[in-house]
Structure 1
């Protein structure tokens, strides 16, 4: 049993492949497990962008990522805001430019 199956192709080709999978006895759950279209939704247009979105999905799957946007922990942002509010207004932060 494969842990990852992805499909790259037109909607028409994808439907034909799904029909063939059902005809061969694959279950609905198995067919729904096929990632199609393959790749993360990054609004890719060029072949290079499409390849990047596909590789990002594969790497994320392999490493257990969820494909969501990265963000800094809110506690760290809150600490920075609290620290800044205690600093005199005319203090310069080195390297902030």
Structure 2
């Protein structure tokens, strides 16, 4: 028959790819390894929903239970340099604003 059908769900094939690689892989690498032409967004949703996987970076995945550090977008932001925020203009005290103009 020559036509080999890929069996299992996308996530099952992604897990097989992670086991073979023995290292975290990107979403794109998992899509390619699984032979899937689906979108990255859909792949991320499916990978996120499976307890056998852990997200280790913005775009990286590993097998759960391998000691990989889970990715946290909030933790990534907290280590970044704080953004410089523009300060509001300094206004004179309210008593100065309410005082009638000086007339000679």
TM-score range, shorter chain: under 0.3
TM-score normalized by the length of structure 2:
0.25
The structure with more radius of gyration: 2
TM-score normalized by the length of structure 1:
0.26
Higher helix share: 1
Higher strand share: 2
